[in-house]
Amino acid sequence: MGRSVRSELFQADEVCIVHAIQRCVRKAFLAGRDEQTGIDYSFRREWIRRRMEALASVFGIDVLTYAIMSNHLHVILRNRPDVVAEWSDEEVALRWLKVFPGRRLDEQLAEPTDSDIERLVADAERISIVRRRLSDISWFMRALSEPIARLANKQDECTGRFWEGRFKAQRIVDEAGLLACAMYVDLNPVRAALADSPDGAVYTSAYDRIQAERGEQIPSAAFDLVSVSAEQAGEHLRETSVADRKQQRRAKRRNPTGKQILRDRWLAPLTQSDRKMADDPDVHRQGVRASDKGFLGLAWDQYLALLRWTAEQRSKGQVAQVPEKLRGILGELGIEASMWRDLVWDYKRYFGRSTCAGSPQAMSADAQRSGKRHRSGQRLVRACFSGTAN
């Protein structure tokens, strides 16, 4: 089957939710222990998590869930052109230059100057392109993947491709598909026997939310959204040595804003607020994420209870009955409770070859949107939804 055309899956100027998967190409692990060499690359998970956190602070893209595995990563993203539309040209320019400073200085994370921002803002065509890219999931994944590949190649003392190629993308077309996909992502370490439960699955969004609920704070990796004047930049260059500047930039990268935040603060809130209008962008103003809009119609304690119960259902032949209080959550989404375990644990069987994930009706509507007759897995997934089984 040929690769899907990205423009059929998502556009930078429309709000949509995408499940992205990026895989490592080499036998050497991305972020785990390589049994052949005995080298442990687990520390790279924190590289990736911090890079995602940093990008969440500048892009108009919400990070909903994620899981960083030994040789691949999962992330569910929601692009927010409506949020980017609220930013001034100056703010768009500042955010862009934080991530892509060009040849201005020798280090990528150097501070943009006021003149850099003014020059970009003055180019109306360029600033329009940049504004669109800040809500483009492909540009987010590019900004995530390329620095990680360079760091890994430098450490491994090699050149060449680090990732298999472009990331795999799957559009999430309704809340039922989003709930199943979110739990599939959060349970990846449990499925891989790297953790016994979501509570121990470090480097997942579920773990971050659990630890944040317990009050854990971390140094914020968010970009410091301030610029410096040309005079300040020149004075700094004259009065500090190259070695001092490198040391200062390393310290700045560790904690750009000097702030401590709850471990999950950079992630999108899980619960949708009924008090907000559907078309309200709910722009975040504290500089750690794009918006304060949630993405599921259930409370965090309900999600966690369902996640923990699902994690316990490892053996297909020994599935317990879904507790009554959790059955209602699934019923509201049209999901057959007796098939919930299969929908999550066998997610790849149902949706692995499809360009979208959701209920059969939503998948059919997505196929029609793209001029197709149906989506792969559409018939198979009927058994998982009430009133749609054959």
DSSP track, 187-217: THHHHTTS-SSGGG--SBHHHHHHHHHTT-E
In this structure, is residue 97 part of a structural domain?
Answer: no
Q: How far apart are the first and last CA of the chain?
A: 26
Return the pLDDT at 105. 45
Return the pLDDT at 133. 97
Half-sphere exposure at residue 56, Cβ-oriented, CA atoms within 13 angstroms: 30
- 162-192 in b/e form (b: 16+ CB < 10 A) is bbeeebbbbbbbbbbbbbbbbbbbbbbbbbe
Query: What range defines the domain where residue 76 resides?
Result: 13-80+135-222+257-315
In this structure, is residue 369 part of a structural domain?
Answer: no
Q: How many domains does the chain have?
A: 1
Please count the other Cβ atoms lying within 10 Å of the Cβ belonging to residue 239: 8
In this structure, is residue 327 part of a structural domain?
Answer: no
Half-sphere exposure at residue 374, Cβ-oriented, CA atoms within 13 angstroms: 11
**Cα dist from 194 to 43, 45, 69, 198, 303, whole Å:** 15, 14, 9, 10, 21
Q: What is the CATH number of the domain that holds 218?
A: 3.30.70.1290
In this structure, is residue 89 part of a structural domain?
Answer: no
Half-sphere exposure at residue 10, Cβ-oriented, CA atoms within 13 angstroms: 28
Give the 3-state secondary structure of residue 374: coil
Give me 278's structure tokens: 């559907």
Return the pLDDT at 333. 95
Please count the other Cβ atoms lying within 10 Å of the Cβ belonging to residue 222: 25
pTM: 0.90
**Cα dist from 216 to 25, 34, 67, 79, 262, whole Å:** 34, 30, 19, 28, 6
Per DSSP, 113 falls in state B
**Cα dist from 314 to 41, 107, 324, 344, whole Å:** 28, 47, 20, 11
In this structure, is residue 33 part of a structural domain?
Answer: yes
In this structure, is residue 52 part of a structural domain?
Answer: yes
Judge whether 363 and 356 are in contact, CB under 8 Å. yes
In this structure, is residue 67 part of a structural domain?
Answer: yes
Judge whether 64 and 76 are in contact, CB under 8 Å. yes
Please count the other Cβ atoms lying within 10 Å of the Cβ belonging to residue 13: 14
10 Å CB burial of residue 293 (0-12, 13-18, 19+) is buried
- Give Cβ neighbours of residue 157 (< 8 Å, ≥ 6 apart): none
**Cα dist from 300 to 167, 270, 329, 354, whole Å:** 29, 7, 12, 28
pLDDT in tens, the chain (390 residues): 445 666 667 888 899 999 999 988 765 566 777 777 777 778 889 999 999 999 999 999 999 999 999 889 999 999 999 999 999 999 999 999 999 987 554 343 357 888 889 999 999 999 999 999 999 999 999 999 998 888 888 877 787 788 887 899 999 999 999 999 999 999 999 999 999 999 999 999 999 999 999 999 999 999 999 877 766 666 666 666 666 666 666 666 677 788 999 999 999 999 997 655 567 899 999 999 999 999 999 999 999 999 999 999 987 777 788 899 899 999 999 999 999 999 999 999 999 999 999 999 999 998 888 788 888 889 999 999 986 544
Please count the other Cβ atoms lying within 10 Å of the Cβ belonging to residue 132: 17
Return the pLDDT at 389. 42
In this structure, is residue 186 part of a structural domain?
Answer: yes
